[in-house]
Structure 1
Amino acid sequence: MRYRGPIPKWMVGWVNTRVLALRRSPRFGRAVRGRLTVVTYTGRRSGRVFSTPVGYRRTADLVTIGVRLPQRKSWWRNFTGEGGPLTLELDGADRAGHAIARVDDRGRVTVTIRLG
């Protein structure tokens, strides 16, 4: 049986804590930071600031995030339509950008960020 509800918050916190520790690791951090970053954004409705680790690909000033299990996550919904601002941790510094989330005809979600 597959669980289809939202991912429990305790589980998300547990995984995110370990991913962030891996990014800071002296042994593995450099390799992990090339594929994982931390996205910080302000929620459209709540006005609260959130940070979450995500996998990414980067080409010059364009960053692409493929959202895995998008139906079970909500952070990317803050960037639908015209999108919105966010900050990414790249190369040891925070970089501001504008993100737009798109859902394709198969339900896959891609968030594209143009760095400022």
Structure 2
Amino acid sequence: MGRYDDTGHLRPVGRSTPLRPNAAREQAERLRPAGPGHAWEVVRFTAPWGSRTPLDVTLIEPGLVAEVAVDTAQERGAWRHPVRLVRLRQDMAPGQMPAFGEGAVPSA
């Protein structure tokens, strides 16, 4: 998961728990592969719990907003524990989110 900071840089902020099959299908229908120049092309992702084995990842265009349930414990600017998907926010675009570090979106 990523979130833009106040300079417009996309920052990694967490990872999700495994998705339920229907949620995985819903997201898969909306994902688009990233083109060249994705902000995370040079990022090396590893599994949690200290593994140094790099993960095989597919970068996507950052075009979805998700409402998540999260334990607010952080480590180096990212949530320490996996977040749980509540729902996709199809009524929002990434540019409508507060910048990284500015808190959550107020409930409607």
* TM-score (normalised: structure 1): 0.25
Q: Tell me which of the two structures has the higher relative contact order, counting C-alpha pairs closer than 8 angstroms and 6 or more residues apart.
A: 2
More strand by proportion, 1 or 2?
1
TM-score (normalizing by structure 2): 0.26
